[in-house]
Amino acid sequence: MGDSGKVSTDGELWLRVMDGDGSAFASLFLRHRDRVFVHCLRLVKTSFEAEDATAMVFLEAWRCRSRIRLVNDSMLGWLLITATNVARNKVRSTLRYERLIRKLPQPQEVPDHSDWVVETVDEDRRSQCLQQAYRSLGRRDQEIIALCVLEDMSTAEVSALLGIPTGTVKSRLSRAKQRLAQLMNPQDRFQPEPVPLSPEEEMP
Amino acid sequence: MNKNPGSQHFNPERSAAIEALLVSVAQDGTPENQHFQNTKGKKILLAGVAVALVATGGAALTQLPVTDKSSILCFARAELNGHQFPGTTVTLLAGARPGEPKPDNPVPIEDALAACRDIWAQHVLDPNAPSGGADPKLFDSNFSYPVPDPLTVCVLDDGRAAVIPGDEKVCGSLGLALKTDTVR
């Protein structure tokens, strides 16, 4: 909506949004909607909730419009971080935007999540375990995995986006992956101290 | 990880509605745009003065209503040293848009508990800091910092609310009154 000719960058569109250009805001929504939606699906239970969360992410963008951080002229990273926060603080976000969100069309019927889980687990049990493990992670772990792994952003981009050194990005990612692996394999969580070898066992 | 969980798609009807909503939000003067202006104008919580004077007068344990809502006190921990406390005072100011009459300030704080919860969630308070104030660099604009539970609303003898970590006994232990409707 609203664009003709050459494709505007996120930065150009956002400047227009700041000037009150609603069509530029709609263009940004359409550009990033699916990536934000897919990320929200990882964090909430139903696609309906993920759609609401996606809408709230863009409303947050408007509320925080003077503080949006664009990396390489893209606002996707900021949107994904905000999506993590919105999904984790769903109650507060919903309260803040309840009056706006309730005007959106309601689903014909709310899908029964348990049916969906059963189907999907049959389809891909390991993927479901991973999904659940991901939801159990802390905010910072979810954030770093979303940016570095799921969205394939470079260490430098994530560093610029989060305002932390590249070394910190790498160590945070490494720890997040470890925690994810532990959640996927809970039996590995509490490993006993390795028993020192007896002198005989040490002999070749 | 699966990059497309459940292979689910955005409902086109809802997408169109959100698109229209965002167009309205960005356009000056629409009700949707106004929603944000109102929110912004009325929620300026000023957390100031890490250590403030408290007029307790050594009140005996009792129950009182809050009669002065012009400001509240958010305690970082249940401690009162004479007339000083670790924490912050909070005042609510309303903003005026251009061309509108200046509103009466400060705005009465009707829900002291909610206001102090917001202050905690922004990591303004630190129970381990002598003053009760957290390092400003740790400010959490996402309101995700954990809020102590329970928090109790006590009443100073000047009629202001003081929100203190702890259960209902905390008011009496500091020589303050318990807010009347705190009792169930």
Domain count, chain A: 2
Does some domain include residue B85?
yes
Binned at pLDDT 50, 70 and 90, residue B175 comes out as confident
> CATH number of the domain that A25 lies in?
1.10.1740.10
CA distance B116 to B94: 18
A170 backbone dihedrals φ, ψ, rounded to 5°: -65, -45
pLDDT of residue B1: 54
CB distance from A100 to chain B under 8 Å? yes
pLDDT of residue A189: 42
Environment class of residue B101 by beta-carbon count within 10 Å: exposed (0-12), middle (13-18) or buried (19+)?
Answer: exposed
B143 and B117 in a common domain: yes
A78 and A8 in a common domain: yes
User: Over chain B, what is the mean pLDDT?
Assistant: 77
CB distance from B139 to chain A under 8 Å? no
Does some domain include residue A202?
no
Do the chains contact at B19 and A29, CB–CB below 8 Å?
yes
The residue that leads in pLDDT, A50 or A117, is A50
Q: Comparing A5-9, B22-26, B113-117, which segment has the lowest mean pLDDT? A: A5-9
CA distance A8 to A15: 11
B158 and B131 in a common domain: yes
Average pLDDT over every residue of B132-144: 80
Do the chains contact at A41 and B5, CB–CB below 8 Å?
yes
B73 and B32 in a common domain: no
A9 and A65 in a common domain: yes
Chain B nearest-CA distance from A117, in A, is: 9
Specify the DSSP element, H or E, that contains A136: helix A125-136
Q: Tokens 């002598």 appear where?
A: B130
pLDDT of residue B7: 62
Whether B152 has a pLDDT exceeding 90, the answer reads: yes
B167 and B84 in a common domain: yes
Whether A60 has a pLDDT exceeding 80, the answer reads: yes
Nearest by CB to residue B10, choosing from A21, A33, A85, is: A33
A89 and A151 in a common domain: no
Which residue in A133, A149, A121 sits closest to A185, CA to CA? A133
Average pLDDT over every residue of B111-129: 88
B72 and B61 in a common domain: yes
Whether B54 has a pLDDT exceeding 60, the answer reads: no
B79 and B61 in a common domain: yes
pLDDT of residue A5: 52
Alpha-carbon distance values, A133 to A139, A179, A188, B1, B90 (Å) = 13, 9, 14, 11, 40
User: Over chain A, what is the mean pLDDT?
Assistant: 79
B100 and B20 in a common domain: no
The winner for highest mean pLDDT among A47-51, A64-68, B102-106 is A47-51
Structural domain range at position A41:
1-104
Q: Quote the radius of gyration of chain A (alpha carbons, Å).
A: 21
Average pLDDT over every residue of A158-163: 84
Does some domain include residue A200?
no
CB distance from B7 to chain A under 8 Å? no
B158 and B98 in a common domain: yes
Does some domain include residue A14?
yes
3-state secondary structure A6-40: CCCCHHHHHHHHHCCCHHHHHHHHHHHHHHHHHHH
A130 and A89 in a common domain: no
pLDDT of residue B94: 63
B157 and B79 in a common domain: yes
Does some domain include residue B3?
no
A174 and A135 in a common domain: yes
A154 and A121 in a common domain: yes
Q: Comparing A94-103, B4-13, B30-39, B90-99, which segment has the lowest mean pLDDT? A: B90-99
Do the chains contact at B21 and A55, CB–CB below 8 Å?
yes
Nearest by CB to residue A42, choosing from B5, B9, B39, is: B5
Structural domain range at position B33:
9-42
CB distance from B100 to chain A under 8 Å? no
pLDDT of residue A124: 63
A100 and A4 in a common domain: yes
CA distance A80 to A61: 11
Q: What percentage of residues in chain A have a pLDDT greater than 70?
A: 77
Q: Comparing A3-12, B66-75, B147-156, which segment has the lowest mean pLDDT? A: A3-12
> CATH number of the domain that A173 lies in?
1.10.10.10
Question: Which residues 141-200 of A are in CB contact (within 8 Å) with B?
Answer: 145, 149-150
Whether A112 has a pLDDT exceeding 60, the answer reads: no
A90 and A63 in a common domain: yes
A174 and A90 in a common domain: no
Do the chains contact at A26 and B23, CB–CB below 8 Å?
yes
Question: Which residues 24-53 of B are in CB contact (within 8 Å) with A?
Answer: 24-28, 32, 35-36, 39-40
A98 and A27 in a common domain: yes
B76 and B116 in a common domain: yes
What is the 8-class DSSP label of residue B61?
A: S
Nearest by CB to residue B4, choosing from A38, A64, A104, is: A38
Average pLDDT over every residue of A42-63: 91
Domain count, chain B: 2
Nearest by CB to residue B35, choosing from A21, A38, A100, is: A100
Chain A nearest-CA distance from B98, in A, is: 17
Binned at pLDDT 50, 70 and 90, residue B86 comes out as confident
